[in-house]
């Protein structure tokens, strides 16, 4: 049995190792951009999970929380640890088992509960896991709320209760059915059903298989799943829905003559679509499509999206009387901005679509229903619908920069670009008059800047990356002194 002192020391070491990987920015930080993440049994252990559970429970002042988890091998273990910690400070638990993250988020709102916790590492590789904490509106906690939990954790301010006040654990059934029914209210079920679409789903052997196939069955679709068996080792593909992980989905759609393919990440909040020809579209394109048909029905609405999104999203807003609200990169920021500004639609380039009338969080099943709704309404194939959007060429690059110089060099760059249309909300984004753009962002995990350029032709996009890579290298040299 390790001494209390030994335990404290070990927790501290684990936290510092998380910091090195960029998941934590300071020794008193637990939460990264999307919950608490780490490699299981190295950076995120059961011991830590108990303590995190008690800190979260103390923050919620002993309320009733929903707890669920994804399909990872470590998820049941960490879930039990988090629940033990929550119970120890008097929180009552409604346990929903294995569910997509957006299903749990919807259940919190639907059952009017105090909040919830989901054990998931979303798109990270199988050896990772994580803990996302959700507020009573179904949205992940704000940074201020996370800080409150971090203070409880690091100052050991957990309020443990007496033996007769320990929280209860009850199962909560039916959350997937409630979630599916809620999504159906936002689309024309009859019109989609009449089309008898053939849809291939690739949910990466994870929780996306637990809801969308049944939603699509209710929408009259013939559903074919690949990687449909639940397996936390992710034997079919890695849980991040990147183009290189989706070749099997693309070829299956083509081979069986399906109308649509859709891939989800490990907790099914992000969705990436494949058209009937097997072409895979990155998130900005499907988001722009959803945005276009949303603005046609809801002109003058504000659309929330991070500065990493393509100018395509702005083009659509300009063409259909919408207004873009640019934010920092990160799904929680998009959700929190939507909440604060009372807006109805948000989206990210990585496949996150936030449909406020359902819930202001990214939701893979809701996004799939919206895409089918547009296809049915317009009587067009996905390739046609995407083909009608403005076209951009994307080019990426990176420049090495020591951590301690990142901020200084970026400040200098922003100064130099003052005469241009720029945003410094997250890195430096510059929009040029010919509708090309470049975003320069320091990586949160590596000593590099990442450059994302886009333009109306490939050559211009490449030129932008080259020009700004050289500019940055010179700036880094100049701030070295
Ligand atoms: Mg996710």
Catalytic residue among 54, 75, 122, 335: 122
- Decide which of 2 and 78 is more confident: 78
Going by C-alpha positions, the residue among 201, 187, 145 that lies closest to residue 372 is: 187
Report d(CA 255, CA 277) in Å as an integer.
9
pLDDT beyond 80 at 2: no
At 70-83, the pLDDT tens digits run 999 999 999 999 99
Query: How confident is residue 10, by pLDDT bands cut at 50, 70 and 90?
Result: very low
Strand 448-455 versus strand 393-400 pairing type: antiparallel
| Interacting residues of 183 by C-beta distance below 8 A, sequence separation 6+ | 215, 358, 363, 365, 366, 369
pLDDT number for residue 26: 58
Length of the chain: 481
Going by C-alpha positions, the residue among 224, 232, 267, 263 that lies closest to residue 247 is: 263
- Distance of CA 331 from the midpoint of ligand 1 (Å): 9
At 103-150, the pLDDT tens digits run 999 999 999 999 999 999 999 999 999 999 999 999 999 999 999 999
- Decide which of 147 and 21 is more confident: 147
pLDDT number for residue 62: 82
Report d(CA 222, CA 80) in Å as an integer.
37
pTM of the model: 0.92
CA dihedral 70, 74, 79, 80 (to 10 degrees): 140
- Distance of CA 382 from the midpoint of ligand 1 (Å): 24
Please count the other Cβ atoms lying within 10 Å of the Cβ belonging to residue 256: 12
The residue-averaged pLDDT of 47-72 equals 97
Three-state SS at 410: helix
Residues within 5 Å of ion ligand 1, judged at the Cβ atom: 122, 265, 267, 269
Q: Of the given ranges (241-250, 373-382, 410-419), which has the lowest mean pLDDT? A: 410-419
At 424-474, the pLDDT tens digits run 999 999 999 999 999 999 887 788 999 999 999 999 999 999 999 999 999
pLDDT beyond 60 at 248: yes
Report d(CA 271, CA 185) in Å as an integer.
20
Distance of CA 252 to the CA centre of its chain: 26
Tokens of 354: 């936030």
Query: How confident is residue 24, by pLDDT bands cut at 50, 70 and 90?
Result: very low
- Distance of CA 115 from the midpoint of ligand 1 (Å): 18
- What angle, 0 to 180 degrees and rounded to 10, lies between the N-to-C axes of helices 364-378 and 175-184? 30
CA-CA-CA-CA torsion sign (99, 102, 103, 105): positive
- Distance of CA 404 from the midpoint of ligand 1 (Å): 30
Contact present, 141 and 30 (Cβ < 8 Å): no
- Distance of CA 139 from the midpoint of ligand 1 (Å): 13
- Distance of CA 466 from the midpoint of ligand 1 (Å): 32
Is 142 catalytic? The answer is no
Q: In sequence order, what are the beta bridge partners of 35?
A: 32, 33
- Distance of CA 125 from the midpoint of ligand 1 (Å): 12
Going by C-alpha positions, the residue among 152, 75, 137 that lies closest to residue 105 is: 137
Q: In sequence order, what are the beta bridge partners of 439?
A: 429, 452
SS3 labels along 89-142: CCCEEEEEEECCHHHHHHHHHHCCCCEEEEECCCCCCCCEEEEEEECCCCCECC
- Distance of CA 172 from the midpoint of ligand 1 (Å): 23
- Distance of CA 266 from the midpoint of ligand 1 (Å): 6
- What angle, 0 to 180 degrees and rounded to 10, lies between the N-to-C axes of helices 75-88 and 46-59? 40
Query: How confident is residue 9, by pLDDT bands cut at 50, 70 and 90?
Result: very low
- Decide which of 28 and 10 is more confident: 28
pLDDT number for residue 403: 86
- Distance of CA 271 from the midpoint of ligand 1 (Å): 9
Tokens of 167: 């929280």
Domains in the chain with CATH codes: 23-175 (3.40.120.10), 393-479 (3.30.310.50)
- Distance of CA 357 from the midpoint of ligand 1 (Å): 20
Three-state SS at 167: coil
Report d(CA 26, CA 15) in Å as an integer.
9
- Distance of CA 121 from the midpoint of ligand 1 (Å): 7
Q: In sequence order, what are the beta bridge partners of 355?
A: 345
- Distance of CA 472 from the midpoint of ligand 1 (Å): 32
| Interacting residues of 144 by C-beta distance below 8 A, sequence separation 6+ | none
pLDDT number for residue 397: 93
- Distance of CA 99 from the midpoint of ligand 1 (Å): 12
- Distance of CA 267 from the midpoint of ligand 1 (Å): 5
- Distance of CA 329 from the midpoint of ligand 1 (Å): 14
């Amino acid at each position: 049995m390790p001494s209390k002192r030994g335990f404290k020391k070990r927790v501290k070491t684990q936290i510092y190792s998380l910091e090195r990987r960029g998941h934590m920015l300071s020794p008193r930080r637990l939460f990264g951009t999307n919950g608490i993440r780490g490699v299981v049994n190295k950076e995120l252990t059961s011991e830590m999970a108990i303590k995190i559970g008690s800190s979260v429970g103390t923050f919620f002042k002993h309320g009733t929380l929903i707890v669920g988890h994804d399909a990872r091998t470590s998820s049941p273990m960490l879930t039990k640890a988090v629940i033990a910690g929550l119970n120890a400070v008097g929180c009552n638990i409604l346990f929903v088992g294995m569910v997509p993250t957006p299903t749990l988020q919807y259940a919190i709102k639907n059952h009017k509960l105090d909040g919830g916790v989901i054990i998931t590492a979303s798109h990270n590789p199988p050896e990772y896991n994580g803990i996302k904490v959700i507020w009573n509106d179904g949205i992940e906690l704000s940074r201020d709320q996370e800080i409150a939990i971090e203070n409880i954790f690091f100052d050991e301010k957990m309020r443990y209760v007496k033996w007769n006040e320990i929280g209860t654990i009850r199962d909560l059934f039916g959350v997937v059915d409630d979630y599916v029914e809620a999504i159906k209210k936002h689309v024309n079920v009859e019109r989609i059903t009449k089309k008898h679409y053939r849809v291939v789903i690739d949910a990466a052997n994870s929780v996306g298989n637990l809801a969308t196939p049944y939603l699509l069955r209710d929408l009259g679709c013939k559903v074919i799943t690949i990687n449909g068996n639940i397996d936390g080792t992710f034997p079919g593909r890695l849980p991040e829905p990147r183009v290189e992980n989706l070749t099997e989905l693309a070829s299956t759609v083509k081979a069986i003559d399906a109308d649509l393919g859709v891939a989800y990440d490990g907790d099914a909040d992000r969705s990436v679509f494949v058209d009937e020809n097997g072409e895979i579209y990155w998130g900005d394109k499907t988001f722009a499509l959803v945005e276009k048909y949303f603005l046609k029905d809801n002109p003058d609405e504000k659309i929330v999206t991070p500065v990493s999104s393509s100018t395509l999203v702005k083009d659509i807003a300009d063409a259909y009387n919408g207004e873009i609200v640019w934010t920092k990169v990160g799904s929680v920021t998009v959700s929190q901005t939507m909440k604060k500004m009372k807006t109805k639609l948000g989206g990210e380039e990585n496949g996150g679509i936030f449909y406020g009338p359902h819930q202001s969080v990214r939701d893979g099943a809701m996004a799939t229903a919206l895409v089918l709704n547009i296809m049915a309404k317009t009587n067009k194939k996905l390739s046609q619908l995407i083909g009608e959007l403005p076209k951009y060429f994307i080019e990426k690059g990176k420049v090495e920069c020591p951590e301690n110089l990142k901020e200084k060099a970026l400040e200098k760059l922003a100064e130099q670009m003052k005469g241009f249309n720029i945003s410094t909300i997250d890195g430096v984004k510059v929009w040029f008059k010919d509708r090309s753009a470049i975003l320069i962002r320091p990586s949160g995990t590596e000593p590099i800047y990442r450059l994302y350029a886009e333009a109306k032709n490939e050559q211009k996009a490449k030129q932008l990356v080259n020009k700004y890579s050289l500019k940055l290298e010179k700036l880094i040299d100049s701030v070295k002194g």
